Every structure is written in structure tokens, then in C-alpha cells.
A = this chain, B = another copy of it.
Amino acid sequence: MNYPNQIQKKTTKTINYSNRGMNLENLINESNEYYVEKDIALIYKKPTPIGISEAVYTEHGRIIKNGYFKAPSTLDYNGIYRGKYVEFEAKETQQKTSFPLANFHEHQLKYISKVLKHGGICFIILKMNNLVYLLKGEDLISFIESSKRKSIPYSYIKEHGFIIKEGYNPALDYIATIDQIYWKGNEEWQRKN
């Protein structure tokens, strides 16, 4: 009966230490749990897309013996807030003066435009210079379309991004930032919490 737990523990370790964006991702995951628990929003990290080339049946169920990671064509997180569709990607960079666009797959940038076109709320959460910013998908696309640069200068992020407040619970209150940006001035929609 200990078997699944043991696997679980090993997994968490494997994933955490191999993940470049660990800290930011953990902050967001914890915040999402808080939002779900408090019935504020339903937002989840999508499972990592994998392909399976070999699977076997064991007494513990079907086990993957050979699998590989697929490149994501959508963004990491999606869900629902106030009936609206929300999707975003989280990125962390150690660079101080600009954020390299190579952090995104080509498909993902096209996908952001699509989500916006369909009326979704779409953005990136970006940790840079010890601050966490929400940069609207519209501003990201607008930069890409108007510039040939392969990275976004920090000055652009400071000018167009919104700082997300870090705290204890939620660790990263990006829903408050969504309220501020997307429901500004519409009191009827202001979050009650």
C-alpha cells in the first residue's frame, strides 16, 4: 500500500529539481490551490503533454516504460474566473535587462493571439529582477509585431506590465491583478474577498 506514495515522493523531487522555473511555478500552484479552496477561481496547470512509446500492465495498474515530452503548443495554465476563460504562461529569467522571446515556442505566440481573438483573458506572468509582472497578451503580441528584437527590454515590461503582489496566502495574488486590469472601474464585478 505504500507503493503509490513512494512513487509520488520520488516524482515530486524529480520534477522540482529539473524545472528551471521552480519557484515561480510553486508560487502559482499554491495560489491556485488557495483560489480553488476559497471558491475564487478554478485555474489549473495543464499536465505536461507526453507521448507513450511503451506501457505495460502491472498489479499497480498501467505503467509507462518509455515516454517522451512533447513541445506544448498552448500555455501552461488555464481555467475560469468570473465566467471568463483565463489562460497564461509563467516564465522566470535571470537576465536583468531583457526577456528573451526564445522562452516561447512559435506555436505558443500564435496561440496567445487566438485566445485573445476568442475573448479570453490571456497573459504571461514573468519573474524578473525579483519582481513578478503580469504582462497582457495584447502587449506581448503588440511588442512582437512592432519590433524585430528577439527579446523584450525590461523597460517595456516595467512600462506595460503590472506588478503582482506577493504575500503569504495567496503567495502570488494574480487574481487581484486581473481584477485591477480587466475589471477596473466596474464595481459590479469587483471581487468580494
Contacts and interface: CB of A to CB of B under 8 A. Distances in A.
B80 A83 contact: no
A55 interface: yes
B65 A66 contact: yes
Contacts of A51: 7-8, 11
Interface string A114-149: 110111100000000000000000000000000000
A193 B50 CA distance: 34
Contacts of A62: 18, 68-69
Interface stretch (A24-32, A36-44, A96-104, A155-163): A36-44
Number of copies: 2
A85 interface: yes
Nearest to A81: B118
A60 interface: yes
A53 B118 contact: no
A115 B7 contact: no
Nearest to A82: B119
A170 interface: no
7 contacts: A14-B54, A14-B55, A47-B50, A48-B50, A61-B68, A78-B78, A84-B84
